[in-house]
Structure 1
Amino acid sequence: MASLDPVIDPVLDKDGVRLTVEDAIATVTLTNPAKRNAQSPALWRALAEAGRLLPGSVRVVVLRAEGKSFSAGLDRQAFTPEGFDGEPSFLDLARGSDAELDATIAEYQEAFTWWRRSDLVSVAAVQGHAIGAGFQLALACDLRVVADDVQFAMRETSLGLVPDLTGTHPLVSLVGYARALEICATGRFVLAEEAVATGLANIAVPMDQLDAAVHDLATALLAAPRDAVVETKALLRGAQDRTYEEQRGAERQAQARRLRDLAGIGD
């Protein structure tokens, strides 16, 4: 996917991940199209590092990928006896203690958690295959813009595993329990039309319009005052865990903060 942006020196560029920052927009790009942006522990550490390196000025983070596929999921080399160079194989991890295995998976999950920070809005630009860990990485973002060739699939269950990279919560939130179970248990593809219809994607566009559509969305997200967006995001994110009356109270409290801020009245 060719970028419309000018050349910008990267803040981070390693292990298949590149981070660039231009004013209030950061772009995280998966940069291993030859392997369809297959994922590895090194890539996950680089993604987590990208989150830590974001300047405070950033309001919108765009996640994109080079090549025809967003991400074909976990690199199957993880399941070979040799694993990746300098890394324990997943077979070795399985032989460790429960505490060690839990801690390792928790570390991997860090690559998928920071995208929903309250001070950011994250947008995934997804084309081609987004399978397994690739699907979960797209789900880690607040919003998804997809190309009309997108193919989402959650293949973990078909392989005797479960989705463990934070994808189950947003998937159920977006499409409901029954459809989420069917998608995961069958491992089938979800194409662009269904993705938009079920809420997995905000919009689908032709592949050659993907960058422009994401740019337009990012620009629109920057139009509102930052604090108002932060408060609104927090209200919406917490709504499913609150009762109706609790949500009413949260709205009142948030609006009081906004009114006092606009009036120049401090706490």
Structure 2
Amino acid sequence: MSAPDAFVRTARDGAVLTVTLDRPEQLNAQTPATWAALASVGESLDDEVRVVVLRGAGRSFSAGLDRSLFSPEPGTDGGLGDLGRAPTAEAEERIRGYQAGFRWLRRPGIVSIAAVQGHAIGAGCQLALACDLRVLTEDAQLRLPEPTLGLVPDLTGTSNLVELVGYSRAMEICLTGRPVGAAEAHAMGLANVVVPREQLDDAVAQLTAALLAPPVAASRASAALVRSAVRNDPETQDAAERSAQVLRLQELAGR
């Protein structure tokens, strides 16, 4: 399945859905159509999907926004100039729609993997951060240059980055806009695995197989606990663990 105007295509193999940004000649630059297509993929997921693999065709994962969106001239669909001239409520609602293309990657029931090679800049970096796990090639670079352009990361990037690397590192990465290479990303917890480019497919396949190995109910319940642990206080999280474990034990006991 593909969304040709958005350059997003999908392929299903049992419980695994692969979503590919397919605009390699433009380094998979993104537009509002890209985000609408991604949101549509999330809305169409069925309960049989357990792992979503997000990829970019060609030599880079995604170099961020399509250059046309930076045009200050009126009439650029989804352009930053048009957003800046729109009424506040309308502009915020449009951005809310864009964010929906990212936020579903951590929805209950699935685990998402970003397979990142080459550049992941701006919106590309935020798309990788939106996933639960990241496999990077040795030449991968993550970067959030928005503040250096007078903007902010607004595609769910800030909350995901803070969860992954903590407050002070997130502040430094966001405000300087500097690139984070694969080795540093792995050291700070942004990357789960770093491999040579030619091993990316195998590494993603191995991780996917490992994620699919546990029973589906136990896997989904554990993933839900990990996600809630980020924000719950210890007492609330302890209660969530108790509740989830009793449900597991009851199922195993045949109740």
2:158 maps to 1:168: yes
53-62 vs 148-157, which deviates more? 53-62
What CA distance in whole angstroms lies between the structure 2 residues aligned with 1:82 and 1:105? 18
2:110 maps to 1:120: yes
What CA distance in whole angstroms lies between the structure 2 residues aligned with 1:71 and 1:238? 29
> Identity rate of aligned residues, in percent?
55
What CA distance in whole angstroms lies between the structure 2 residues aligned with 1:79 and 1:212? 37
What CA distance in whole angstroms lies between the structure 2 residues aligned with 1:123 and 1:222? 13
- CA offsets per residue over residues 26-65 of structure 1, 9 Å max, x none? 0000100100001100111111111122232111000011
2:137 to 147, 164, 176: 147
Aligned equivalent of 2:41: 50
Relative distance call for 1:41 and 1:88 in structure 2 (3 A) is: closer
Q: Is the 8 A contact 1:32 1:66 kept in 2?
A: yes
Aligned equivalent of 1:217: 207
Q: Is the 8 A contact 1:109 1:165 kept in 2?
A: yes
Relative distance call for 1:88 and 1:244 in structure 2 (3 A) is: closer
TM-superposed CA distance for 1:90, in Å, is 2.1
What CA distance in whole angstroms lies between the structure 1 residues aligned with 2:19 and 2:75? 26
Give the match's secondary structure for 2:229.
helix
Relative distance call for 1:232 and 1:200 in structure 2 (3 A) is: same
Aligned equivalent of 1:193: 183
Q: Is the 8 A contact 1:12 1:50 kept in 2?
A: no
Q: Is the 8 A contact 2:74 2:81 kept in 1?
A: no
Relative distance call for 1:63 and 1:186 in structure 2 (3 A) is: same
TM-superposed CA distance for 1:166, in Å, is 0.2
2:88 maps to 1:98: yes
2:221 maps to 1:207: no
TM-superposed CA distance for 1:77, in Å, is 0.7
5+ residue gaps, structure 1, are 1-10
2:62 to 60, 71, 74: 71
| TM-score of the superposed pair, with normalisation by structure 1 | 0.92
**Letter of the structure 1 residue corresponding to residue 7 of structure 2:** G
Aligned equivalent of 2:172: 182
Q: How many residues align?
A: 253
Aligned equivalent of 1:41: 32
| TM-score of the superposed pair, with normalisation by structure 2 | 0.96
Q: Is the 8 A contact 1:77 1:83 kept in 2?
A: no
2:101 to 111, 119, 124: 111
Give the match's secondary structure for 1:188.
coil
What CA distance in whole angstroms lies between the structure 2 residues aligned with 1:96 and 1:55? 36
The CA RMSD over aligned residues, in Å, is 1.1
What CA distance in whole angstroms lies between the structure 1 residues aligned with 2:126 and 2:93? 19
5+ residue gaps, structure 2, are none
TM-superposed CA distance for 1:75, in Å, is 1.1
2:245 maps to 1:255: yes
Aligned equivalent of 1:20: 11
**Letter of the structure 2 residue corresponding to residue 184 of structure 1:** C
